[in-house]
Chain A
Amino acid sequence: MKQNLAYRNLKAKPVRTAILVVLTALLSLTVCGGTLLVSSLRTGLSSLEARLGADIMVVPYEAKTKSNLESVVLQGNPGYFYMDMSRYEKIASREGVGQISAQFFLASTSSGCCSIPVQIIGFDPETDFTITPWIRRSYGGALEPGDIVVGNDLNAFVGDTLTFYGVDCRVAAKLDKTGTYYDAAVFTSVETIQQLIASSLDKGMNDFAGIDPERVVSAVLINTADGYSIEEVLNDINIHVKKVKAVQTKEMIAGISDSLRGTSDLIGVLIAAVWVLGLVILLLAFTMSVNERRREFAVLRVIGASQGKLAAVVMQEAMLTGLCGAGIGTGLALIGVAAFRSALEAQLGLPFLLPGAGRICLIAVLSILAVLIAGTAAAAVSAYRISRIDTALILRGDNG
């Protein structure tokens, strides 16, 4: 097979080629990895906004002080707080309340195989409007007593049996990844919650301070009725219903949005810094490489290579190293972010959801293109200079 001159030049100088490939790989790794990271954080936030699914969340007043509500709702840290069912009825009777449903947070428990506790959430399938759509999407039937629906972060699958407080529960469905507290939670009906509490009392595991899921609730989720603003209904509940705190769900996300903006900016600055440094090094590398090969290019001119041909050789070398480096860097970024996404999520403490396959491919292709353009642009300066060399001067040795 006939190999072209640029390829043979690269093959003849493996160390120089390896350095150029590593540099371009570093550039594509930062641009692809950074963009994928920021994109995943943004997808996580969008998912969070969509999945919270309610305009207002009402919790017992002490939940805002005793337990950090945001850490429970947004990060899935297990927590529990209760208020009397009469408050749910009072809230439901307020003007402007459209859809309303209660949730019951059971004191979390280790789930047998591992030491991490799991939040068990009881809900009413009759009134629910935040979880039920997700259950219907992944599971067509109704929840029987003893059936549970598991969040996406639980390593359990439909048909598996999980044991809570000595009760074997059948996994009836698994939710899609949401980026919210739903991912780390187990959902079930109030009847099953009662079974779990009864079993726990029988076995002396936890007395739950005498709570009855039919008489208390942990949180009330509300969608406002048409013609009423969220602020109007929120203020009305906070003023007229005692010992509760109504929170606008968008307000809870505001903190996350700020953190996300900060993280995105930081990643952006890092990408820019690596790019500036990388481009300067690439420019220097090509300039030095071309300078030390002036005699080689001069000989090529003597044996008949045109100015354009010399420039083309330099550009082809840049394209080949760029393509190879960009491919390696982009591949490493994709593997790294996809494989360690859970570790990244835990480290960042922000909702993290990889974008769809199409968007990932687009990011990868754009990263490769960006590095190719940057590499060839850096080489273009050297290509221009080498196309204008004075062959006689160089071969005589008077090249400064």
Chain B
Amino acid sequence: MKKPHITDILLLVMSAALCIGVKLLFHACAPKEDGSWMACHWAEQAVFAASLGMSLTAFVRLFLDRRARAGAALGMSITAAVTAFIPGVFIRLCMMNDMRCHAVMRPAAVILCVLIVICGIADFVLARKEAAA
């Protein structure tokens, strides 16, 4: 394994933070009194699945050559961009905007996804510059 770039570490940390955070820190609303889940729970599950995929990709790419790493980073950016739209757009959240899924889960997930997008693109651009040099 070659010495990782700062962008490699950031991509791994942020996708892992999204994966763990969406389950433990900024999770969606609790189940109803009758034990059934509200719609936001399925948004949480979808974000978890996508972020788990991104975390594994971020880990595996550490062992790849520079060109493959840059390609994987671009792929992660695209996945993160799509993941940002899961809560509230692809899967509807709860009725009240002050509920946990709107107030905490959605903004935290969107911010982390945007950071992954920026980092992925930065890594891709850096790799191209390095190749050109």
Bound: A163/B87 CA distance, A: 22
Bound: A261/B35 CA distance, A: 41
Picked from B93, B97, B104, B110, the residue with its CB within 8 Å of the CB of A153 is B97
- Which residues of the partner chain B approach A153 to less than 8 Å between Cβ atoms? 96-98
- Which residues of the partner chain A approach B64 to less than 8 Å between Cβ atoms? none
Bound: A335/B112 CA distance, A: 12
Majority secondary structure, B binding face: loop
- Give how many B residues have a beta carbon under 8 Å from the other chain's beta carbons: 20
A346 touches B95 (CB 8 A): no
In the complex, whether B102 has a CB less than 8 A from a CB of chain A is: yes
A184 touches B111 (CB 8 A): no
Interface string of B83-107 (1 = CB under 8 A from A): 0000000001111111100111001
Considering only residues 102-116 of chain A, those with a C-beta below 8 Å from chain B are: 111-116
Nearest CB on B from A268, distance (A):
25
A343 touches B99 (CB 8 A): no
- Which residues of the partner chain A approach B52 to less than 8 Å between Cβ atoms? none
A114 touches B98 (CB 8 A): no
A-to-B contact residues, CB < 8 Å: 111-116, 118, 152-156, 184, 335, 339-340, 342-343, 345-346
- Which residues of the partner chain B approach A118 to less than 8 Å between Cβ atoms? 95-96
In the complex, whether B81 has a CB less than 8 A from a CB of chain A is: no
- Nearest residue (CB) in A for B100 is A343
- Nearest residue (CB) in A for B106 is A339
Nearest CB on A from B117, distance (A):
14
In the complex, whether B29 has a CB less than 8 A from a CB of chain A is: yes
Bound: A286/B103 CA distance, A: 41
Given contacts A339-B107, A339-B108, A346-B98, 20 further A-B contacts (CB under 8 A): A113-B92, A114-B29, A114-B38, A114-B95, A114-B96, A115-B33, A116-B94, A116-B96, A152-B97, A153-B96, A153-B97, A154-B95, A155-B96, A155-B102, A156-B95, A340-B103, A340-B108, A343-B104, A345-B98, A345-B103
Ranked 8 nearest A-B pairs via Cβ: A339-B107, A342-B103, A114-B94, A343-B103, A115-B32, A114-B95, A153-B97, A342-B98
Nearest CB on A from B33, distance (A):
7
- Which residues of the partner chain A approach B39 to less than 8 Å between Cβ atoms? 113
- Which residues of the partner chain B approach A345 to less than 8 Å between Cβ atoms? 98, 103
